[in-house]
Amino acid sequence: MTMTSLDEQARAILRGNDQGGYTLPTHGLYPYQWNWDSAFAAWGFATFDNARAWDELDTLMASQWDTGMVPHIIFHKPDPGYFPGPDVWQTGQSPATSGITQPPVAAIMARKVWEMDPKAGQARMAALYPKLLAWHRWWHEVRCTHGPAAITHPWESGRDNCPDWDIGMAGVDGSSAGEYQRRDTGHVNPEMRPTKQDYDRYIAMVKFGCSVDWDQARIVRDGPFLMADPGITFMLLRADEDLAVMGRALGEDVTELLGWAEDLRAALPTIWNDDLHAYDALNLKTGEFANILGSGAFMAYLADAGNPQLDAQLMRVWDKVNYGIPSADPEAATFDPRKYWRGPTWPVVNALLAIGLRDAGRADLAERLRAQTASLIRKHGFYEYFDPLDATPCGGADFTWTAAIWLTWAGRDVESDAVRGAA
């Protein structure tokens, strides 16, 4: 397969998943608009249709709640192929949305889209800026009340079933989930998806949110699950700084934004686990660390928060696998190389990490990660995630964010850049 044909395939996936203003992560498994998937889709579109990239971000932010929260799913059109749908979430929004959020990468991606064509993007960015700012305000005021960014449902982390959340999940009573039929396991191999016990608890958490009318203060205070997420903490910090760059370019006063970022940076020591020699998820209900090294810790590089101990951990887990960064520690008992976030490597996470590594002056590592990620896609196509030991493709095929990161990063090796004449 030539480079050019993979570029063409990636563009065809974005166009094929495009529903007119928003993009599905993939047909079947994820038939709506997902928050962080959409931000990556925008980055991918920006390589060939800058206006369409901004449309994606506009559509996402159009479903922002009055509180500032941007929901993790927007149910534009009913689709019985997905569970839990709008009737389960009952958020009363129009269009219907879920009641939780997802990693705030939109500002990171908006900055990239803008930098790819600053002139064309200026007015689009100006329109988006206040909405992104309101979402960041929500994160800081509602979810950083303990210092680092907290999640109230594992799905908010984007790394749904990673071992980081096991201790928090253990405190959730799944029996209130009642009877329901999962749809995800009808689309892809159930071995690659979360367990039934996990799902019962996910649904029980959704039911709790409904029971308090999605009142965030109550969910944080009384809900069944509250954990500090290193991944989101670092992404938010990076996103704050990217938003501040855009704010300055627009002539905005970014003092408040920089103040949030400073407070968040000051809170980083609270998620550093000395015993683990790494950043760690923290159960805010009990004060216990997860004692699990996950890919969220490595998002530290995105926020200029790496250190030699974390470098050593990165090299240790990376050297244990053959392709990309595993989502969980390959030496831990919980490691499962094909089960969603319990071991597989995710091209989209590799792309974020490479941005961080490059910024940290580790272009050699960023290139190694790019080459490994590219080889997975060249071997098997644009899958959702892969077994990091033997490259087995996992989850959904023709995946939007995998196609997007091919166009923006993984497929941009020396050869293709020469062909495209790009910088």
Which residues are part of the catalytic machinery? 160, 384
Question: What tokens appear for 406 in the block?
Answer: 């091919």
What is the closest distance, in whole angstroms, from the C-beta atom of residue 131 to ligand DGY in the complex? Answer: 21
What is the per-residue binding string for ligand DGY in 277-306, x denoting contact by CB under 6 A?
A: ------------------------------
Closest CA to 366 of 404, 334, 409: 409
Q: Which CB sits closer to ligand DGY, 261 or 404? A: 404
- Smallest gap from Cβ 89 to ligand DGY, in A, equals 11
In the bound state with ligand DGY, the residue whose beta carbon lies nearer, of 127 and 180, is: 180
Which string of DSSP letters, residue by residue, matches 202-216?
HHHHHHHHHHTTT-H
Both tokens of 287, joined, read 């004060």
Q: How far apart are CA 154 and CA 163, in angstroms?
A: 10
Which residues in 151-170 contact ligand DGY (CB under 6 A)? 155, 160
State how far the Cα of 399 lies from the Cα of 10, in Å rounded to an integer.
Answer: 9
- For ligand DGY, the binding residues in 182-221 under the rule CB under 6 A are 184
Q: Which is nearer to ligand DGY, 29 or 57 (CB)?
A: 29
Instruction: Output the residue with the shortest Cβ distance to ligand DGY.
Output: 155
- Between 182 and 316, name the residue whose CB sits nearer to ligand DGY: 182
Give ∠ CA 257-259-262 in degrees, rounded to 5.
115
| Residue 240 near residue 264, CB atoms below 8 Å | yes
**x-or-dash pattern for ligand DGY, window 23-62, by CB under 6 A?**
----------------------------------------
Measured from the CB atom, is 130 or 178 closer to ligand DGY?
178
Nearest approach, Cβ of residue 90 and ligand DGY (Å): 16
Write down the least CB distance from residue 374 to ligand DGY, Å. 25
- Out of 72, 131, 140, 362, point to the residue binding ligand DGY (CB under 6 A): 72
Nearer to ligand DGY, 155 or 346 (CB): 155
Say which residue the tokens 């506009």 belong to. 58
> How many residues interact with ligand DGY (rule CB under 6 A)?
4
Token pair belonging to 16: 């094929």
Place of tokens 């989502």: 327
Q: Which residue has the tokens 């509180």?
A: 67
Count of CB atoms situated within 10 Å of the CB of 321: 20
**CB-based burial of residue 58 (10 Å sphere; 0-12 exposed, 13-18 middle, 19+ buried)?**
middle
| Helical residues (DSSP H) of 250-397, grouped into ranges | 255-266, 308-319, 347-359, 363-380
Say how far apart CA 86 and CA 83 lie, in whole Å.
9
Q: How many helices (H) and strands (E) does the chain have?
A: 17, 11
Residue 83: CB minimum distance to ligand DGY, A? 8
Smallest distance, ligand DGY to C-beta of residue 160, A: 5
Task: Phi first, then psi: give them for residue 191, nearest 5 degrees.
Answer: -65, -20
Residues that bind ligand DGY (CB under 6 A): 72, 155, 160, 184
